[in-house]
A = this chain, B = another copy of it.
């Protein structure tokens, strides 16, 4: 692994970003490990503190380091915040459509749910069943229903034991949250809404039973329905 980070090499700030990134890699730093102070980095890299700050701020934006008042920058845990912003940006600037996002979600979440069925712990299975039950209990309260729906998908992503999938599910959460009310409203009948809840229950059941095929089928049905609902609401 001897590659330079994928950056335009055109400014002192981008140079500092590269140098800090390389330092993290070369010294095998782990999340929580401390970096040198801004003053020290400024001296080592032979740039002003302004440049170091802007570089660190960029790395913070990408969740590569954590910044805090009075403390030195530390190496960050991966996190979906930046990806979420980027996806939302794509949607708001008409570069990405909702249907495109749902195609990707369907693709990854049908795989995730199969892995979750195979890899979940008993605790996770119980939590997933609980989230589905809470959806059932909030059927007439859409705001709460949405929160449990989102929580269920998050739990499933956690149970799949692949942090990249988890990151991606998190990255789509902002847009999911924004489109959920539209989808719910556009389900035409109480029966259609009932199917949505029952499908989530089926997903949970399949995961708890460790049945990846049933889980995949149920998740596929869920997404096909959701796409239909959003389409009928004019979200293309």
A101-109, A126-134, A197-205 - interface stretch = A101-109
Determine the residue in chain B with the shortest Cβ distance to A161.
Answer: B100
Residues facing B in A84-140 (CB within 8 A) are 84-90, 92-96, 100-101, 103-104, 107-108, 111, 115
Contact at B164–A85, with CB atoms within 8 Å? Answer: no
Q: Tell me the residues in window 68-85 of chain A with beta carbons closer than 8 Å to chain B beta carbons.
A: 75-78, 81-85
Given A30-B94, A62-B62, A82-B62, A87:B164 Cβ within 8 A: yes
A165→B103 CA distance, assembly (Å)? 9
- In the complex, which of the residues B30, B54, B78 contacts A86, with contact meaning CB atoms closer than 8 Å? B78
**Among B5, B75, B82, B92, which residue has its beta carbon within 8 angstroms of that of A24?**
B92
Interface centre among A1, A29, A61, A108, by most chain B C-beta atoms within 10 angstroms, is A61
CA distance A168 to B167 in the complex (A): 12
Given contacts A103-B162, A108-B107, A108-B108, contact A31 B82 (CB under 8 A): no
Contact B108 A104 (CB under 8 A): yes
Interface residues on A, range: 35 or more
Q: Which residue of B lies closest to A163 (CB)?
A: B96
- Chain B residues near A1 (CB, 8 Å)? 92, 178
Q: State whether the Cβ of A185 lies closer than 8 Å to any Cβ in chain B.
A: no
Q: Which residues of A, 5-46, contact B by the 8 Å Cβ criterion?
A: 5-7, 13, 17, 21, 24-25, 29-31
Give the complex CA separation of A16 and B107 in angstroms.
Answer: 35
Known: A24-B92, A62-B82. 20 other contacts (CB 8 A): A1-B92, A3-B177, A6-B81, A6-B88, A17-B61, A21-B89, A24-B93, A30-B93, A30-B94, A54-B54, A57-B57, A58-B60, A59-B61, A62-B62, A64-B86, A64-B89, A95-B163, A96-B164, A104-B164, A108-B108
With both beta carbons as reference points, the residue of chain B lying nearest to A179 in the complex is identified as B1
B90 and A163 contact, CB distance less than 8 A: yes
Residues of B within 8 A of A7 (CB): 81, 85
A88 contact set on B, CB distance < 8 A: 5-6
The CA-CA distance from A62 to B215 in the complex, in Å, is: 35
Docked-complex contact A77 and B95, CB < 8 angstroms = yes
Across the interface, do B78 and A62 meet the contact criterion of CB distance under 8 Å? no
